């Protein structure tokens, strides 16, 4: 889910544009690499990919992942027993009914924290499934036999149906959200054997607290830098505007 439910930020949109240009042909790669100094780093291969940078960022990513997982385990210890009980909510449903009725929700547990607004930043645990009762993703370490929760997802990287469907709920609350296809993935992604799927989610929203908030942001940034490096681009140079060699 961490990658599957991405809602693109402006940085990610720039990345998508760059990658699209790369896929047009090797000429685009040469141009972009020259523009951003992609071939100037020590250890670069002939195609402009800096293997030393990739190795360095990979080590940073592994180290930061361990820090995130260690901190997230505290959240799992606190919330797993309660959240796993909502696994029983996963049942088959009529997709056409959801698509016709539009976005809807049901509060399974009233939270005691602040209300979520359009501008709120928070973490969430989730179970997402299709009309055929197939769970396509969740916060559980194992969908069939869960024993813990993975790192909670940031609401900054979720689909529109969840963004809209969680407004008004309180932290520590649990809500079941029914999302029509146009507010889910539409035809952009195949889920449960098809596209244009309506979806259902059970979500527990929790307050975004330190140190996990900062650690998660740091990990996300390293991941972005690593993605750029794989295409021969230096993230820091791209966003600093530097073209110096």
Lowest mean pLDDT among 10-14, 133-137, 191-195, 219-223: 10-14
Q: How far apart, in Å, are the Cα atoms of 236 and each of 34, 51, 53, 66, 188?
A: 15, 16, 12, 24, 30
Q: Which two tokens stand for residue 134?
A: 């197939």
Give the pLDDT score at 240: 83
pLDDT (tens digit per residue) in 74-112: 999 999 999 999 999 999 999 999 999 999 999 999 999
Residue 9: CB partners within 8 Å, gap ≥ 6? 156
Asked whether the CA dihedral 193, 97, 124, 141 is positive or negative, the reply is negative
Predicted TM-score (pTM) of this structure: 0.78
- Which residue ranges form the domains of the chain, and what is each CATH number? 10-66+213-240 (no CATH), 78-209 (3.10.50.40)
Q: How many Cβ atoms are within 10 Å of 112's Cβ, its own excluded?
A: 9
Give the pLDDT score at 32: 39
Q: Does a cis peptide bond (omega within 30 degrees of 0) precede residue 211?
A: yes
Give the pLDDT score at 44: 54
């Amino acid at each position: 889910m961490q990658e599957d439910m991405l809602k693109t930020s402006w940085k990610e949109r720039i990345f998508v544009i760059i990658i699209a240009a790369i896929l047009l042909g090797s000429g685009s790669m040469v141009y972009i690499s020259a523009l951003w100094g992609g071939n100037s780093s020590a250890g670069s291969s002939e195609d402009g990919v800096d293997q030393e940078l990739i190795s360095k960022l990979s080590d940073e990513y592994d180290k930061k992942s361990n820090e995130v997982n260690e901190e997230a385990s505290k959240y799992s210890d606190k919330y797993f027993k309660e959240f796993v009980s909502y696994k029983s909510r996963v049942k088959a449903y009529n997709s056409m009914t959801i698509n016709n009725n539009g976005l809807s929700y049901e509060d399974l547990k009233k939270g005691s924290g602040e209300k979520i607004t359009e501008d709120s930043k928070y973490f969430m645990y989730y179970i997402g499934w299709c009309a055929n009762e197939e769970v396509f993703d969740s916060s559980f370490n194992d969908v069939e036999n869960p024993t813990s929760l993975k790192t909670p997802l940031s609401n900054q990287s979720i689909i529109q149906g969840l963004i809209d469907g969680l407004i008004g709920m309180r932290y520590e609350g649990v809500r079941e959200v029914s999302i029509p296809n146009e507010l889910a993935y539409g035809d952009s992604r195949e889920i449960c054997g098809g596209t244009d799927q309506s979806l259902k989610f059970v979500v527990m929203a929790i307050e975004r607290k330190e140190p996990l908030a900062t650690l998660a942001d740091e990990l996300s940034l390293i991941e972005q830098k690593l993605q750029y490096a794989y295409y021969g681009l230096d993230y820091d140079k791209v966003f600093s505007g530097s073209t110096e060699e």
